[in-house]
Amino acid sequence: MKKAGVVGATGYAGAELVRLLSAHPGVKLNMLTSRQYAGSSIAEVYPAFKGVLDLVCQPFELDRLCEAADVIFIALPHKLPMGFVPQLIKQGKKVIDLSADFRLKDAAVYEAHYEPHTAKDLLPEAVYGLAEIYQTEIEKTHLVGNPGCYPTSALLPLMPLLKAGLVDSKHIIIDAKSGVSGAGRSLALTTHFCQVNDSFKAYKIAAHRHTPEIEQELGNAAGQPVQISFVPHLVPMTRGMLTTIYCDLREGTSAAKVKECFESYYKGRYFVRIGSEGQSPDTLNVKGTNFCDIGFKIDTRVNRLILIAAIDNLVKGAAGQAVQNMNIMLGLNETKGLTQTPFPV
Amino acid sequence: MKKAGVVGATGYAGAELVRLLSAHPGVKLNMLTSRQYAGSSIAEVYPAFKGVLDLVCQPFELDRLCEAADVIFIALPHKLPMGFVPQLIKQGKKVIDLSADFRLKDAAVYEAHYEPHTAKDLLPEAVYGLAEIYQTEIEKTHLVGNPGCYPTSALLPLMPLLKAGLVDSKHIIIDAKSGVSGAGRSLALTTHFCQVNDSFKAYKIAAHRHTPEIEQELGNAAGQPVQISFVPHLVPMTRGMLTTIYCDLREGTSAAKVKECFESYYKGRYFVRIGSEGQSPDTLNVKGTNFCDIGFKIDTRVNRLILIAAIDNLVKGAAGQAVQNMNIMLGLNETKGLTQTPFPV
Amino acid sequence: MKKAGVVGATGYAGAELVRLLSAHPGVKLNMLTSRQYAGSSIAEVYPAFKGVLDLVCQPFELDRLCEAADVIFIALPHKLPMGFVPQLIKQGKKVIDLSADFRLKDAAVYEAHYEPHTAKDLLPEAVYGLAEIYQTEIEKTHLVGNPGCYPTSALLPLMPLLKAGLVDSKHIIIDAKSGVSGAGRSLALTTHFCQVNDSFKAYKIAAHRHTPEIEQELGNAAGQPVQISFVPHLVPMTRGMLTTIYCDLREGTSAAKVKECFESYYKGRYFVRIGSEGQSPDTLNVKGTNFCDIGFKIDTRVNRLILIAAIDNLVKGAAGQAVQNMNIMLGLNETKGLTQTPFPV
Amino acid sequence: MKKAGVVGATGYAGAELVRLLSAHPGVKLNMLTSRQYAGSSIAEVYPAFKGVLDLVCQPFELDRLCEAADVIFIALPHKLPMGFVPQLIKQGKKVIDLSADFRLKDAAVYEAHYEPHTAKDLLPEAVYGLAEIYQTEIEKTHLVGNPGCYPTSALLPLMPLLKAGLVDSKHIIIDAKSGVSGAGRSLALTTHFCQVNDSFKAYKIAAHRHTPEIEQELGNAAGQPVQISFVPHLVPMTRGMLTTIYCDLREGTSAAKVKECFESYYKGRYFVRIGSEGQSPDTLNVKGTNFCDIGFKIDTRVNRLILIAAIDNLVKGAAGQAVQNMNIMLGLNETKGLTQTPFPV
């Protein structure tokens, strides 16, 4: 059985990886690293794990990591992963990086939004890990750039329609709403309970770094460059993301065609659930799961298609999709370890 | 001193009217009616009022109401008000109706979205009570159709820009998010705590009855018919509404011009607060107040303007604006009774 | 493989049973009944289950139920179960009733708090399903009265100490706090989001019907009648229950002895986790799990022991413990189907 | 008109003082200090105040403070106030300190729980500012130690009963639950939204520093030393505190006597509202107000009295009571500036 390691195991995405991998029937979770909590058991950091998991967080050391793990998940802030991923790849490891470092194909775009890229050589072979879209490529790669939460929720509904030419690639507007865990476990006034509770606001209006990532993939699907408007908002809840998308319909596109396009594109894909026209997905229904629920409605008077996608930002938007990618990379069924029955409430 | 009455005082909007009118220095709150709670003190229905207000809810009787009140607020579901408003007007009362019955100028539009209108004669003289826009008309009327919460939050940012020709009236998209009190106090699974808490969803996608109301007013501002896409969402919080609007800029419109337009249009208007470009309003900052906070950002790459407005749906979106309208109708300062200092959190 | 049925599958406890049983490796979930939703798929009632479960809710018919299920869970309001449980028992079924009907040994006590008992004959053979306490009896019975959520959280910390004579059975005070799902899915003003959100209150002060159930079991443990004060409170959260208990220490009882008593009594019991002195359990750590986390602290100045227990009211407080009881009744490992890794947040 | 100053104006209690004092008809808010935000307008720190308050936060300088203010509120952590309060008193200022520095009469007790006291000379003249209990003393003093939030909620129900000899002073148990704003605005994992939301826990079990403050005052009321058990809990809400108290009844104490005692003791006191037996106060009803709602129930079987008090921890538990104390010190009506109508929800 393959051995898995999680670098940065004590942030929210890291801990969610620990949750999923520790119960995964196809791999053995064998190494956790944490700078802040090295030496502590993961159950001391997250007491929910008490009596269930007894792994101790290790300081990050490349050699020990490579010894302990065949598949390595990286849940660190961007910039850090590109510093050591090349060595992991050289050692023959399979790597799933949850940061932005290996998502963007064009180093110049990365550098415009982040900082100088120090592992550009790897960009061509890195695969954008949107599992339902790039399965074939993921099967063959050693390096996955795991998608951001916002991009996942925007791309799953949009890409099939763009590929099929059912919607126009101009005038796409993405209005997204995220639970607070997406901001991570670091302390900030913006995640202080009293600033968030019973409150709602936008942030980084048309200035969020997930924008180029979304545009790269929409461009791939449309076959030409795409520019969007993207506004994220913060919802007073822990988990969940709902993304509402507005786009212009190509002539002749009916609700039936939209539904058919989704059903055919996502045929056999367990994690994408398509609703009837006019039904709204609800983050409640995907909480704790790797599902992406997609809804749609044609606003006939203005010939506009409204798409809505709901995911759990920590699962399909991060750790769950990462495990799904691992499954695909290892030749396992993509659903392995990801089929816990959802909670009714 | 004028005497005020509230018909339907025990719903959330009605109770909020009670809160504001009971402390209003310019009128005497003299009559509350409630079908469900007739005979009960308002403090029995809302124990927060204990020791502060001791008015007893009365059954609705037109004669007693007319005897008791010069200004009458109606906080009932649509259809009911049009049944008795004509008599109130005949008796010389000033009426502020919070339902949809007197908001739409075109009876056919009303009937397409609601039901047969039985008081069409009054529609020409009814004034749409968006206080910052229609002050002159409100000063002279006896009948105000008090705007819906969603329209208030959408129109205050959009109308000045349309009037000034700074934005295109095509391609306007309104993505709105509301706290749960907007759904009222009636029982429904959709307002059950466990269905709403830690959850986010859209509803009535491109099918909400506030749409024609918004379009009527945008059409007035643009000087031509306007069609929008409007999607409301439900936020797990009690009070607050944040509305994000996307529209195309007319050529030559800069951020400075947008800001200048707002500042000039809303000069001297206490309840509209304009932010700097890129700042997001937060519902936290308007909770319990009659403020509408407006933010904006130009998405320069696509020449699109993003507008964001935050209000308290029960205050500026309902009871507060109704009191503001009363102030204007009575020749009082519009801020009278509406200047409690906001809560920091 | 045994077949399981759930009567009353669409309330919150019923739906939680569906969640757990549908994924249980040792039984086949074969029948759901629902009066309100007969004919609907459970995934229509709880869209979270879409694509995962496709069982259709049936009307309640005794014969069909007996045909379809060997083990029957009843998640109905009290009074209803006693009407048909005798027939189920006669047919050789194993029954786990989540109502109060078979929890109280003394029919007179039941009748004083509920109503006339129509199946008294079964009371002697019914076993109170507090799994960690009555395992031996549960193994042999056909009828389990599944404990209430409040009693579960109060009894697990108190019973071992009373049995060991470490605390006095007089002066026991139980101050409990529950999430809103404990009130069920029925509509009521008390579960309206706006009445609960950002709010905290007690209810049924010293008058809750779980009191006799708690006292019955404490009396068993103490070997003499016990009377407590019990006050439940409502917390603005969906799942979770935290119960704080105050009792007088017998002379010579140290913190070490308390801890030792717990560790010895619960040795080998997966679902009870004991903290160090002074650590507080947190409902966050047990959400979605069948764990009961127990904390304690000696208030040395007054020689009083403070016990704190945290459970998920829908799992260990209802459906999870019911499945644990089924496991024991069927000779399976008690943890079967109940070991999903907890969520870090 | 007297001038008021707030030292430490940008924490939650400080900002709440700003809210109340800025609208107070009897004083002029003339000086805010803040170490962290010196130079910023208070509306930059709390955007809710935009357009309403334009005071700029100053660095703390004793001379400027004394020049600017006759009445000085101190909303700093303990230890800091005792460093400069003696000088304020020497300059003839009236001082209301919201920290613990001047609440405890016995310096040794203070030092056992906090640290060396450097202004012991002032302790005899400092008055414990529980306004409904110590009005006469407050009228005459220059220095008020404003009570903690937990003590306020515990003492208002308990002290009249102890003074009247209706309850026993032994076996008093105080189980308190607070909203998160009580933890202040500083960043900590314990106030991170994701750690608090949908969660409930105890903290500082029988080890909270408000214990000696409560015991001092209960001792005063009982005429002999009192020792309690006190356990605070954290509720996922911003504002509000509910405290449940258990005590033994003296023989002959009926519910009628308890109610009579409260009504007679609090006769004419606007801010204390007494409920009928068995009614539970709800923090919702006191949110944003200076009210303390008191409920009670006799648990007749065990002859125990259960008291429940609800306050807004930032108002009656901090800033509101401080303003009430100022009113009394200045010879104003105690309700001045504190009578905003409560919110229905």
- For every residue of D226-266, DSSP letters joined together read --EEEEEEE-SSSS-EEEEEEEEBPTT--HHHHHHHHHHHT
Q: Are residues D154 and D297 in the same domain?
A: yes
Helix (H, G, I), strand (E, B) or coil at D5: strand
User: Hey, of A185, A186, A187, A194, which one would you mutate to test binding to chain D, going by the most D CBs within 10 A of its CB?
Assistant: A194
Are residues D198 and C237, on separate chains, in Cβ contact within 8 Å? yes
Q: Does D345 touch chain A (CB under 8 A)?
A: no
Q: Are residues D45 and D160 in the same domain?
A: no
CA distance C297 to chain D (A): 7
ipTM: 0.97
In a domain, D335, yes or no: no
Mean pLDDT value across chain B: 98
User: What's the average model confidence in pLDDT over B283-310?
Assistant: 98
Q: Splitting chain D (345 residues) into consecutive groups of 10 residues, what average pLDDT does each group show? A: 97 98 97 98 98 96 98 98 98 98 98 97 98 98 98 98 97 98 96 97 97 98 98 98 98 96 98 97 98 98 97 98 98 98 97
Please choose, from the candidates B67, B3, B49, B1, the residue with its C-alpha nearest in 3D space to the C-alpha of residue B30: B3
Nearest residue of C to residue D181, measured between CA atoms:
C198
Q: Are residues B228 and B208 in the same domain?
A: yes
Q: Does C129 touch chain D (CB under 8 A)?
A: no
Tokens of D338: 């504190």
Q: Are residues B142 and B172 in the same domain?
A: no
Q: Are residues D130 and D159 in the same domain?
A: no
Q: Are residues C182 and C300 in the same domain?
A: yes
Q: At what angle do helices B255-265 and B149-163 cross, to 10 degrees?
A: 110
Rg (CA), chain C: 19
In a domain, A345, yes or no: no
Q: Does D113 touch chain C (CB under 8 A)?
A: no
Are residues A188 and D187, on separate chains, in Cβ contact within 8 Å? yes
Whether residue A309 contacts residue A285, with contact meaning beta carbons closer than 8 Å, is answered with no
Dihedral in degrees, nearest 10, Cα atoms B59, B64, B69, B72: 50
Find how far residue C298's CA is from the centre of its chain. 27
Annotation marks residue A149 as catalytic: yes
**How much is the pLDDT for D208?**
97
Residues of D in contact with B285 (CB under 8 A): 46-48, 50
Q: Annotated catalytic residue: which of C57, C149, C247, C292?
A: C149
In a domain, B91, yes or no: yes
Q: How far apart are the first and last CA of chain D?
A: 35
Q: Are residues B250 and B105 in the same domain?
A: no
Q: Are residues C109 and C132 in the same domain?
A: yes
Residues of D in contact with A202 (CB under 8 A): none
- Select from C23, C285, C344 the Cβ nearest to the Cβ of A15: C344
Band (A303; pLDDT cuts 50, 70, 90): very high
Q: Does C199 touch chain D (CB under 8 A)?
A: yes
| Subunits in contact with chain A (3 or more CB pairs closer than 8 Å) | B, C, D
Rg (CA), chain A: 19
Q: Between residues 52 and 111 of chain C, which touch chain A (CB distance below 8 Å)? A: 52-53
Band (A195; pLDDT cuts 50, 70, 90): very high
**Which tens digits make up the pLDDT trace of A46-69?**
999 999 998 999 999 999 999 999
| Subunits in contact with chain B (3 or more CB pairs closer than 8 Å) | A, C, D
Residues of A in contact with D191 (CB under 8 A): 192-194
Q: Are residues D62 and D139 in the same domain?
A: yes
> CA-to-CA distance for B199 and B203, rounded, in angstroms?
13
Residues of D in contact with A236 (CB under 8 A): 193, 197
Q: Does D206 touch chain C (CB under 8 A)?
A: yes
Are residues D229 and C297, on separate chains, in Cβ contact within 8 Å? no
User: Which structural domain range is residue A6 located in?
Assistant: 2-147+316-329
Whether residue A244 contacts residue A228, with contact meaning beta carbons closer than 8 Å, is answered with no
Q: Does A297 touch chain B (CB under 8 A)?
A: yes
**Which tens digits make up the pLDDT trace of A116-164?**
999 999 999 999 999 999 999 999 999 999 999 999 999 999 999 999 9
Are residues C194 and B191, on separate chains, in Cβ contact within 8 Å? yes
Give how many domains chain D has, as a whole number.
Answer: 2
Are residues B199 and A295, on separate chains, in Cβ contact within 8 Å? no
In a domain, A340, yes or no: no
In a domain, C28, yes or no: yes
- Select from A48, A284, A285 the Cβ nearest to the Cβ of C343: A48
User: What's the average model confidence in pLDDT over B305-322?
Assistant: 98
Beta bridge partners of A191: none
In sequence order, the 6+-apart residues with CB closer than 8 A to the CB of B342 are B285, B286, B287, B288, B289, B291, D19, D48, D49, D52
- Select from D15, D20, D284 the Cβ nearest to the Cβ of B48: D284
- Select from C199, C201, C301 the Cβ nearest to the Cβ of D227: C301
In a domain, C256, yes or no: yes
Are residues C244 and D227, on separate chains, in Cβ contact within 8 Å? no
Please choose, from the candidates C247, C287, C288, the residue with its C-alpha nearest in 3D space to the C-alpha of residue C157: C247
Q: Does C12 touch chain B (CB under 8 A)?
A: yes
Are residues D344 and B18, on separate chains, in Cβ contact within 8 Å? yes
Residues of A in contact with D192 (CB under 8 A): 185, 187, 191-193
Nearest residue of D to residue C196, measured between CA atoms:
D284
CA distance A247 to chain B (A): 10
- Select from D47, D181, D273 the Cβ nearest to the Cβ of B50: D273
In a domain, D339, yes or no: no
The residues of B that are catalytic are 149
Q: Are residues D155 and D142 in the same domain?
A: no
Q: Does D192 touch chain A (CB under 8 A)?
A: yes
> CA-to-CA distance for A198 and D274, rounded, in angstroms?
29
Query: What is the SS3 assignment for D121-168?
Result: HHCCCCEECCCCCCHHHHHHCCEEECCCHHHHHHHHHHHHHHHCCCEC
Q: Between residues 212 and 271 of chain A, which touch chain C (CB distance below 8 Å)? A: 238-239, 270
Q: Are residues B18 and B47 in the same domain?
A: yes
Are residues D340 and B23, on separate chains, in Cβ contact within 8 Å? yes
Tokens of A142: 């050693």
CATH number of the domain within which C162 lies: 3.30.360.10
Q: How many CB pairs under 8 A join A and C?
A: 97
Q: Does C203 touch chain D (CB under 8 A)?
A: yes
- Select from A229, A233, A242 the Cβ nearest to the Cβ of B246: A229
User: Hey, of A149, A192, A198, A297, which one would you mutate to test binding to chain B, going by the most B CBs within 10 A of its CB?
Assistant: A198
Nearest residue of D to residue A188, measured between CA atoms:
D187
Does the pTM surpass 0.90? The reply is yes
> CA-to-CA distance for B328 and B270, rounded, in angstroms?
14
CA distance A8 to chain B (A): 26
> CA-to-CA distance for C72 and C81, rounded, in angstroms?
11
Q: What share of chain D is helix, strand, coil (3-state, %, to 5)?
A: 35, 20, 45
Residues of D in contact with B16 (CB under 8 A): 343-344
CATH number of the domain within which B120 lies: 3.40.50.720
Band (B325; pLDDT cuts 50, 70, 90): very high
Q: Does D277 touch chain C (CB under 8 A)?
A: no
Are residues D229 and C295, on separate chains, in Cβ contact within 8 Å? no
Q: Are residues A81 and A168 in the same domain?
A: no
In a domain, A52, yes or no: yes
In the sheet where C27-33 sits, what is the strand order? Answer: C27-33, C2-7, C71-74, C94-97, C143-145, C127-128
